Structure 1
Amino acid sequence: MMKLNKKMIASFILTLSLVTTTSAFANTNTTSIKNDEPTSYRINKLKETAMYYYWNGGDLKKAEAEIFKGITLKGKYDVVENAFAEAIHLDPFDNDLKFSLASTQIIQKKVPEALETYKGILNLDPNNFNANLLYGAYSKTNGDQKTYDSQIAKLKKLDEKKANDYIAKIASADSYMKTTLNKDVPKGLPQKDHAIVILGYALADDGTMREPLIGRLEAGLTLAKQYPNSTIIVSGGVPKNGVTEADAMSKWLIEKGVDKNRIILENKATDTVENALFSISIMEREGLKDMTLVSSASHMRRGLTVFKEASDHYAKLMGKEADRKFTNMVFLDYKSLEEAHQVPNEEKMVIYRDLLRTSGIWAYPGLQR
């Protein structure tokens, strides 16, 4: 029997994790849903429509005319929300549909509505761990510490070890909200087994880079010049005009004189959660220990939170101590560092959302992480 080493395990896990839902919905289009079709078909069509609009957007007027008659749609997430609401109407027993509806409400910053949706799940299934956790976490970001404490007490009764694990994860996120953001190159970084991870940003439709991504690259280049032994991971996989963020970033760095052998492309991630999961997997494969994350100041607290969570997961998977050290360098997308260090409630909500997604709780169960 072949013996698997840590690099082989990490490579295998990464291969599995790169399967995304986009291809499943790539050719989906809105079509009229008829009442003389099986219920399961109608529900699946609504889920496909929701995920198509989640990824691609589309013709709102067509969606209004063919599926959501009498409803005025204001954007693609309106389509997603109404598709799941209609699916719940068809099957009010399916809690996964309700989780998906609540996640869409969170994306739209409709926190009170999402909390009501989670409450509905709990009315039907009071011992649902994820619903109790999400209801508590989003209550906390909404300024309701009392409800959060109450939900934590319930979680401890359901599964004390798991509850304590999530208490620690949320405490870690809270600590990263107090992170000092480094506009200048950090001093004293490791000279060995160190990674510089530069996070991507959505490209223009023609595949060219926009200002936030160029700003991140300039920060990363400055860092790379001062730490020439560090490996550079460029992370971002959403293609525009046949070019991924990682492709564009790598090309830019090479044109600026960086040795291409220093650069590893992570070109599968579609969002921050996948940036973290896929980049940490690469670090495990390459034997890289500590890392400096490079991103926009407005994105850094969330980035550090999810990278820490992904790193802890892989440490557990590999059966080793979670001792990776994280530092940061930011592209300042605020008027000042003082302003950058303020953390509004909306940012807290997004940090918690992505922390919980990185921990394995899918926003859209069975459909989309």
Structure 2
Amino acid sequence: MNSFKKRFGLILAICATLTLSTAYAETGTQTVQETEEGPVLAPIKTDEPTADRIQQLEDIAMYYYWHGGDLKKAEEEIFKGITLKGKYDVVEAAYKEATVLEPHNTDLKISLASTQIIQKKVSEALATYRQILNLEPDNFNANLLYGVYSKINGDEKAYKQSVSKLRQIDNHKTKEFLQKFEVTEGILKTKLNTSVPGKLPAKDHAIVILGYALADDGTMREPLIERLKAGLAVAKQYPNSKIIVTGGVPKEGVTEAEAMNEWLIGNGIAKERIIMENKATDTVENALFTTAILQKEGLKDVTLVTSASHMRRGLTTFYEASRFYDEMNAVNTNRAFTNMVYLDYPSIEEAQKVTKDETLVIYRDLLRTSGIWQYPGMQR
């Protein structure tokens, strides 16, 4: 109970810092300072047990993973198709401090590297993974992450060396990941549809519309409204298809799925056609939680609807989630995916180009969907 009270007090104190401009706010044994540039970690105290200090640093990291950032800025600086909006410099600082307090802890280093990846600091992340591998040469996940991000960073030699090492550690598991990568490379070449696809299945077909972060007042932003318009076009042409709206982060008590559901009903869709998935907090959870619904409802094929900048990542996570659920339930759904996009690029030609930044985000979410958490024990 004391531990719970301390952690709850920590979060309240962190929230309080968001209303301050210059003063330090106490957060248990750690402080966060609000400056004109944003929140920064203050010097840590040394009169608490190490475990408590590390836990508080992780709590700070997770708070700022979710809060304090600007969505538009995040899309400009990280990747257009991403909706994360935390203060990742603070998250990184917290995990750096935690790894100093406990340099033996591999999970803390994984979390630090993940935050560096989010910020596109690939070289720094690779150096962090290398520290792990120096200490634990047979760490499968660290070898995998190091290899994948090395390849994206243009180091094919390091990738091949990692694959060779992975085969030595667990050849079967390595083959499975190589198959996932092959599927993903195919998805990167997917033709994006700005018109409703033809000849979609008349039976057991679902239109899945992916959510987008709501404004603070609970209203839908333009990208989500445009996704709904695209989904509505598909729904009108295929009236027998179920519609799944997915997105669970609430604003003013309203989730993305609830807002989407209300909009669709207001635009003539019968409420009986709509299924709400209102627990997902990001694309990976969109895929995992929606696939569970597909299995439960006996829905086979899917037309995925989202922004063009988000579609390849969405398809990657849904393919992997579908593969996993098939394996878990010992079935072979042979699920087919089609797509319909809201074009958030100047032209379809530009939308078809896959940048290094997009590739980084796609592979990061593939690995997360496959069960490798960004922040072990804390955040998928």
**1:55 counterpart = 2:55:** no
Aligned-partner Cα distance in 1 for 2:100–2:304 = 44
Aligned-partner Cα distance in 1 for 2:160–2:331 = 31
Which residue of structure 2 lines up, in the alignment, with residue 249 of structure 1? 260
Which residue of structure 1 lines up, in the alignment, with residue 91 of structure 2? 80
Aligned-partner Cα distance in 2 for 1:358–1:24 = 33
Moved over 6 A (4+): none
Aligned-partner Cα distance in 2 for 1:28–1:364 = 23
Aligned-partner Cα distance in 2 for 1:115–1:24 = 35
**1:214 counterpart = 2:234:** no
Q: How does 1:108-187 map to 2 (within 5 A)?
A: 108-187=119-198
Aligned-partner Cα distance in 1 for 2:126–2:307 = 30
**1:192 counterpart = 2:198:** no
Alpha carbons 1:196, 1:293 under 8 Å: kept:
yes
1:136 is matched by which residue type in structure 2? Answer: G
What is the Cα deviation at residue 31 of structure 1?
A: 3.9
Aligned-partner Cα distance in 2 for 1:366–1:105 = 18
Alpha carbons 1:98, 1:117 under 8 Å: kept:
yes
Alpha carbons 2:223, 2:307 under 8 Å: kept:
yes
2:294 is matched by which residue type in structure 1? Answer: M
User: What RMSD over aligned residues (CA atoms) do the two structures have, in Å?
Assistant: 1.5
Q: Deviations over 1:63-102 (max 9, x none)?
A: xxxxxxxxxxxx7211110111111101100000000000
Residue 274 (structure 2) aligned to one of 263, 288, 301:
263
Aligned-partner Cα distance in 2 for 1:198–1:108 = 27
Query: What secondary structure sits across from 2:96 in the alignment?
Result: helix
Alpha carbons 2:29, 2:53 under 8 Å: kept:
no
What is the Cα deviation at residue 25 of structure 1?
A: 8.3
What is the Cα deviation at residue 51 of structure 1?
A: 0.7
Residue 238 (structure 2) aligned to one of 222, 227, 230:
227
2:269 is matched by which residue type in structure 1? Answer: V
Please give the TM-score of this superposition, normalised by the length of structure 2: 0.85
What is the Cα deviation at residue 149 of structure 1?
A: 1.2
What is the Cα deviation at residue 351 of structure 1?
A: 0.2
Q: How does 1:215-364 map to 2 (within 5 A)?
A: 215-364=226-375
Q: Deviations over 1:28-74 (max 9, x none)?
A: 6334432111111111111111111111228xxxxxxxxxxxxxxxx
Alpha carbons 2:227, 2:307 under 8 Å: kept:
yes
Alpha carbons 2:133, 2:143 under 8 Å: kept:
yes
Which residue of structure 2 lines up, in the alignment, with residue 107 of structure 1? 118
Greater shift, 103-112 or 319-328, is seen at 319-328
Between the two proteins, what is the percent identity of the paired residues?
A: 64
Please give the TM-score of this superposition, normalised by the length of structure 1: 0.88
Aligned-partner Cα distance in 2 for 1:353–1:275 = 15
Which residue of structure 2 lines up, in the alignment, with residue 70 of structure 1? none
Unaligned runs of 5+ in 1: 1-22, 59-74
Q: 1:108 to 1:167 in 2, by over 3 A?
A: same
Aligned-partner Cα distance in 1 for 2:255–2:156 = 41
Aligned-partner Cα distance in 1 for 2:299–2:338 = 14
Higher relative contact order (CA 8 A, sep 6+): 1
Aligned-partner Cα distance in 1 for 2:10–2:231 = 35
What is the Cα deviation at residue 24 of structure 1?
A: 11
Query: What secondary structure sits across from 1:48 in the alignment?
Result: helix
2:276 is matched by which residue type in structure 1? Answer: L
User: How many positions carry a matched residue from both structures?
Assistant: 331
Aligned-partner Cα distance in 1 for 2:65–2:173 = 31
Query: What secondary structure sits across from 2:275 in the alignment?
Result: strand
